[in-house]
Amino acid sequence: MIQLENVTVTFDGSGSVLRRVSLTIPTGDFVYIVGTTGAGKSTLLRLLYCDACPSSGTVLVAGQTLERLRPTDIPRLRRRMGIVFQDFKLLPDRNVYENVAFALRVIGASNREIRRRVPDVLELVGLIERYDAFPHQLSGGEKQRVAIARALANTPPLLLADEPTGNLDPETSCGIADVLERINQLGTTVVVATHDKHMVDTFRKRVVQIEDGCIVRDECPGYYDAAGGATA
């Protein structure tokens, strides 16, 4: 599903954010990317959804070599992945149903498809009862569930989550982790960049630790260990 070979990312005016990173994530895997702030976790995810370009090395996502991708092909690749952010990125003037449907409408889905698909994903994240609530009427955990539902609306084989529990308390984080695990059990590859020790240690999966742009640990299953000590 995902393959990085000797990938280095350098942004103008700064040093290398990722340095000679090699990583393979097979289809159906669940991977936590952990590391300190500025270690390069988010950049790794940005690479995968084509928001950053590698300075050198090869990135393969869903059989596509990203360096060879033309700009017109990027939207098509993004339709094959769902992306979830820490700040939810919900549209405040639309209710839960419309926020999820929005993701389908902008890729040209038919009304019939939208009517069929939206209730399904809301059911999956446990928000079907709250379909007509607006974001300001939802708790943080509920907002993140809507964001996950939106990311899944197009049934993507890959889900990328960048600090999905960053704004949530430990109990709510567990709820989100539970949803992510269920999604993974349905066959979707899940990659989560996180600081959430509680989530990583409770829902034990493969852990890839990045420090200073390099992978320093890759364990399955692993614990959250920001210091880099091996605890398999």
**Interacting residues toward other proteins by CB under 8 A:** 49, 72, 75-80, 83, 89, 91, 93, 102-103, 105-108, 110-111, 150-151, 153-154
Asked if 17 and 10 touch (Cβ cutoff 8 Å), the reply is: yes
Q: Which is nearer to other proteins, 77 or 193 (CB)?
A: 77
Smallest separation (angstroms) from other proteins to the CB of 128:
21
List strands edge to edge, sheet with 206-211: 81-85, 158-162, 189-194, 30-34, 206-211, 214-219
User: For residues 88 and 187, what is the distance between their CA atoms, to the nearest angstrom?
Assistant: 23
Give the shortest CB-91-to-other proteins separation in angstroms: 6
Residue placing its CB nearer to other proteins in the complex, 30 or 85: 85
**Residue 52 Cβ, how far from other proteins at the closest point, in Å?**
13
Q: From the CB of 100, what's the least distance to other proteins, in Å?
A: 10
Kindly give the residue spans of alpha helices, DSSP state H, lying in the chain: 41-48, 74-78, 96-105, 111-124, 140-152, 170-185, 197-202
Is the Cβ–Cβ distance between 13 and 203 less than 8 Å? no
Residue 43, C-beta contacts closer than 8 angstroms, at least 6 positions apart:
9, 17, 18, 52
Rank residues 167 and 202 by Cβ distance to other proteins and give the closer one.
167
164 vs 222 by CB, closer to other proteins: 164
CB of 60 vs other proteins, minimal distance in Å = 19
Could you give the angle at the alpha carbon of 163 between the alpha carbons of 91 and 98, nearest 5°?
20
CB of 145 to other proteins, least distance (A): 16
Which is nearer to other proteins, 107 or 226 (by Cβ)? 107
Q: Give phi and psi for 102, each to the nearest 5.
A: -55, -40
In which region does residue 37 sit, left (phi positive, over 0), alpha (psi from -120 to 50) or beta (all else)?
A: beta
Residue whose CB is less far from other proteins, 80 or 204:
80
